[in-house]
Amino acid sequence: MGVVPEIHASRLLAKTVVDNRGRRLGRVTEIFVQLGKEELPPVVALQVQASSWLWRGPLPFRLVPWRCVQVLVRQYLSLSVGIDSLPPVATPPSPPPPVPSEWLPVRRTLFDKQIVDLNGLRVVRVNDVKFTEIGDTLRLVAVDVGLRGLLRRLGLRPLVHFAESHFGLRLPDTLIRWQDVQRIELEGNGRLHLGVPYERLARLRPADLADILEALHTRERTALLGALDPAVAAETLTEVEPEAREQMLARLTPEHVLRLLQSLSPDDAAAILSELRADRATALLGAMHPEQGEQVRALLEYPEDTAGRFMSTDFMAFPRQMTADETIATLRRLRPPAEEAYYLYVIDDERHLLGTVSLRDLVIAPPEQPLGEIMHPNPVAVRATDDRRTVGELLAKYDLLALPVIDEDGRLVGVVALSEHADEIFRPARRGWWRS
């Protein structure tokens, strides 16, 4: 039988500690749990600090192992040992006794801090921490992020009880299981704390990561983005709201931004560059891989909100003399992603768009028939300078999944795919209304 079946950190922190002969040691000022070995970390020690009404300066404190705690009676935690058998007292400014690195100070690292709820995929603020006795040890089981925890911290528990018993109000007890808690802890240098595992966070979808990043503080945002795999980070960056993206990019080093840009497709890179200040954009463009830089520059030539700006430049185009068989063999070899293979485009030697071929057309055609005979001529296409409204209207009118984009001479320059560019085509007014 342990000391207490369940308790909140806020209550434990208010207790006065007395030894086996009733001598006061002080109040609990910190709770340490041991991370690593078990899924639910056990409470290992309390930091007890002498308290005084008069003196508010540095006070001596000591670490009390949790196994010495015997019983909890009202405001008192009484120990099974005498004051003399405990580790010696430390008084600031002499350094506090060393604590093993896998001991987590609950109050300092969790109380009032933002954490990511991996289950609900949102960022929340910790109001309280809940411990429950499991198999003879008190363990950290959940963090409280609800109104109840907040009122408890404010010392308004009686008010909650009153509201519940007299008015039948039911305040939600919003708990997040410890397994779903992701701490975002920064070290002094602004890097993420290495002791915190981030695997589950890194496995989230970029769109979900983007929502989480938006809700975090600027410094945490930047640090987290920096810790992600560059490909995931880049993808996440394209999903983030423009304002938040601007903030993050402003805080990343140019080398870092460059690394992110290079793992993006030219259209996504162009979208991000166009939001940057002109001098930074030029510098980054110059530093990019020459071939990619060239493609991005070409996209940036087009005015904002036109098909040319956001079209994708990776697409499947084949000469009209190519036979169905050769085309299928090429596709097998290149293995293009789904969004590049909705339609195949047929072009002449000068890249003029002649027609489209669907995969179905290709499969049912005689093997030796050239594409020029299989294709649907007069394809529906948009000009690179057409705006996004036109693109949306054409896609809707002809029930297409993707549209080829041509320049003023009818040459194929890119493709807009509904699955990839829905954001750009149907973007609503996304600015926050509360901002000035």
Partner 1 sequence: MSTGRSNARWVGRLSTRRFSLQRLLIILSVIGPGLITANADNDAGGVTTYATVGATFGYEMIWGLILVTISLIVIQEMAARLGTVTGRGLADLIREEFGVKPAFLAMLTLLVANLATTASEFAGMAASLEIFGVARWITIPLMAIVVWVSVTTGSYRRLERIFLAVSLAFVTYIISGFLIRPEWPTVLRHAVVPSFRWDTHFLLLFVGMVGTTITPWMQFYLQASVVDKGLTAQDLRYVRWDVTLGSLWSDLVAFFIIVDTAATLFPHGIQITQAGDAARALEPFAGHYASVLFASGLFAASFLGAAILPLSTAYAISEAFGFERSVNRAWREAPIFFWLFTSILGIGALLPLIPRISLVKLMLFAQDVNGFLLPVILLFMLRLVNNHRLMGPHTNGPIYNLIVWATVLMIVGLTCALLAGSFLPGLLAGGK
Helix axes 242-251, 218-227, angle to 10 degrees: 70
Which member of 40, 69, 209, 300 binds partner 1 (CB under 8 A)?
A: 300
Q: Which helix (H) or strand (E) holds 176?
A: strand 175-177
Burial class (CB in 10 A: 0-12, 13-18, 19+), 253: exposed
Secondary structure of residue 365 in the 3-state scheme:
coil
Which member of 11, 24, 113, 320 binds partner 1 (CB under 8 A)?
A: 113
Which member of 173, 301, 304, 373 binds partner 1 (CB under 8 A)?
A: 301
- Rounded to whole angstroms, the Cα distance separating 205 from 220 reads 19
Q: Pull the structure tokens for residue 40.
A: 């639910």
Which member of 217, 289, 389, 427 binds partner 1 (CB under 8 A)?
A: 217
Q: Does 187 bind partner 1 (CB under 8 A)?
A: no
Q: Does 155 bind partner 1 (CB under 8 A)?
A: yes
Q: Which helix (H) or strand (E) holds 395?
A: helix 388-397
Peptide bond just before 206 cis, omega within 30 deg: no
The alpha-helical segments, DSSP class H, found in 70-228 are 106-109, 147-153, 157-167, 199-202, 206-215, 218-227
Q: Does 108 bind partner 1 (CB under 8 A)?
A: no
Q: Does 290 bind partner 1 (CB under 8 A)?
A: no
Listed ranges 95-103, 281-289, 342-350, 364-372: which one lies at the site for partner 1 (CB under 8 A): 281-289
Smallest gap from residue 71 Cβ to partner 1 (A): 28
Q: Does 281 bind partner 1 (CB under 8 A)?
A: yes
Listed ranges 82-90, 277-285, 322-330, 338-346: which one lies at the site for partner 1 (CB under 8 A): 277-285
Binding map of partner 1 across residues 224-263, x = CB under 8 A, - = no contact: -----------------x-x--xxx-xx------------
- Rounded to whole angstroms, the Cα distance separating 37 from 336 reads 45
Interacting residue ranges for partner 1, rule: CB under 8 A: 111-114, 124-125, 127, 145, 150, 153-155, 188, 214, 217-219, 241, 243, 246-248, 250-251, 277-279, 281-282, 285-286, 294-295, 297-298, 300-301, 313, 413, 429-436
